[in-house]
Amino acid sequence: MAKTTSNPDKPAFATPDGSTIFRKFGYSAAVRAGGLVFVAGQIGLNPDGTVPDDDEGQIVRAFERLELVLESAGCDMGDLVELVSYHVGLQNHLAQFVEIKKRFVPEPYPTWTILEVAGLARPDLVIEVKAVAAVPDN
């Protein structure tokens, strides 16, 4: 099975040295294989790499980054078939997450797995989302 990768060249994914997080850490933002696009976990960073001051800002930024990755792979949020969210302090922001998710993810909704974790890649992060999308028929 052939696979292709997609790494958006957007400021949101840049590193201070002029590279991207994908090159720096050696992974792909998305891999397209067999009619599906597998999207790596997206965290809630501002475009300048800083962490928003509140949970809402992190959640919104994570979904915005997910949208950018999907677009780079030829998909959009309506193509999602699976969503997995990782939360630090889940009960502190679950209701907020659900409301923000509704703004980004249209019906018919994908499957959704919600996990509470002890921590993420940076100590001040509270959310990470990863997803699988079906490549649209053209």
User: 38 with 31: CB under 8 angstroms?
Assistant: yes
The pLDDT tens digits of the residues spanning 79-101 come to 999 999 999 999 999 999 999 99
CATH of domain 3-134: 3.30.1330.40
**Across-strand partners of 73?**
none
Task: Give the H/E segment covering residue 62.
Answer: helix 55-72
The pLDDT tens digits of the residues spanning 16-71 come to 888 888 998 999 999 999 999 999 999 999 988 899 999 999 999 999 999 999 99
Domain boundaries, the chain: 3-134
pTM metric for this prediction: 0.95
Phi-psi region at 89: left, alpha or beta (left = phi > 0; alpha = psi -120 to 50)? left
